[in-house]
């Protein structure tokens, strides 16, 4: 693309853009398209800034959710003393380094100490932290810390398995590479049998 066409495109975009008619994110996406050498006023891109703004609102909705609101009182007294495990929780997140997706499954377990949490709250907990700009290591720790804070159980264990588009599409370009992170608290750290049971359970496929 020659400089004349690029600057003509830039002038056209500026003339047809009214920042007051769209959100700040949409306006910045429009500016990004221009900086990449595109024409945001062509048919295919005309509504792209607004679509991208709505996409980020959805994918980063975790910033608008806090732990107390998410739990919403769904913690109950219980005499149950054995492991509670929710496995294969699908999640999607955005890598904070390149704003590219990473996605996979989380396995979350705890051993109660007088309190349990509603089943749906554990996937929601994963989702709350996944819907922020993340690195997998921090995501794993945040899930474990939050559940530990809410329940104060005998122990918490979290394993996250994910594929990262930043490694698949760019850089090393290894499409089959995946990353596994884990975070153990309490009895999952100190009791080898409990830890082994947890790891054995998450490795079973439909048994």
Which one is catalytic: 98, 105, 161, 189? Answer: 98
Of 198, 168, 206, nearest in space to 107 by CA? 198
Q: Is 96 a catalytic residue?
A: yes
Which one is catalytic: 96, 137, 149, 203? Answer: 96
Q: Is 137 a catalytic residue?
A: no
Which one is catalytic: 22, 31, 53, 166? Answer: 166
Which one is catalytic: 97, 149, 152, 203? Answer: 97
Q: Is 136 a catalytic residue?
A: yes
Which one is catalytic: 107, 127, 134, 136? Answer: 136
Q: Is 14 a catalytic residue?
A: no
Task: Compute the distance between CA of residue 88 and CA of residue 90 in angstroms, rounded to an integer.
Answer: 6
Q: Do 106 and 182 meet the contact criterion of CB atoms below 8 Å apart?
A: no
Q: Is 97 a catalytic residue?
A: yes
Task: Compute the distance between CA of residue 95 and CA of residue 56 in angstroms, rounded to an integer.
Answer: 13
What is the set of active-site residues? 95-98, 136, 164, 166
């Amino acid at each position: 693309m020659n400089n004349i066409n690029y600057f003509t495109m830039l002038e056209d975009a500026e003339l047809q853009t009214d920042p007051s008619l769209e959100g700040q994110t949409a306006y910045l996406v429009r500016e990004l398209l221009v900086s990449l050498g595109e024409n945001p006023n062509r048919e295919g891109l005309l509504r792209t800034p607004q679509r991208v703004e709505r996409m980020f609102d959805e994918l980063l909705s975790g910033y608008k959710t806090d732990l107390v609101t998410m739990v919403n009182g769904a913690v109950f007294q219980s005499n149950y003393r054995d492991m509670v495990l929710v496995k294969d929780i699908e999640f999607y997140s955005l890598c904070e380094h390149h704003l590219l997706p990473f996605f996979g499954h989380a396995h979350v377990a705890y051993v109660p100490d007088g309190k349990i949490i509603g089943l749906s709250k554990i996937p929601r907990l994963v989702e709350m932290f996944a819907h922020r700009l993340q690195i997998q290591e921090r995501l794993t720790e945040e899930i474990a810390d939050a559940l530990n804070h809410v329940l104060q159980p005998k122990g918490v264990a979290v394993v996250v398995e994910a594929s990262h588009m930043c490694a698949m599409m760019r850089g090393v370009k290894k499409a089959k590479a995946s990353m596994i992170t884990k975070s153990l608290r309490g009895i999952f750290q100190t009791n080898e049998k409990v830890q082994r049971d947890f790891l054995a359970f998450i490795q079973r496929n439909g048994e």
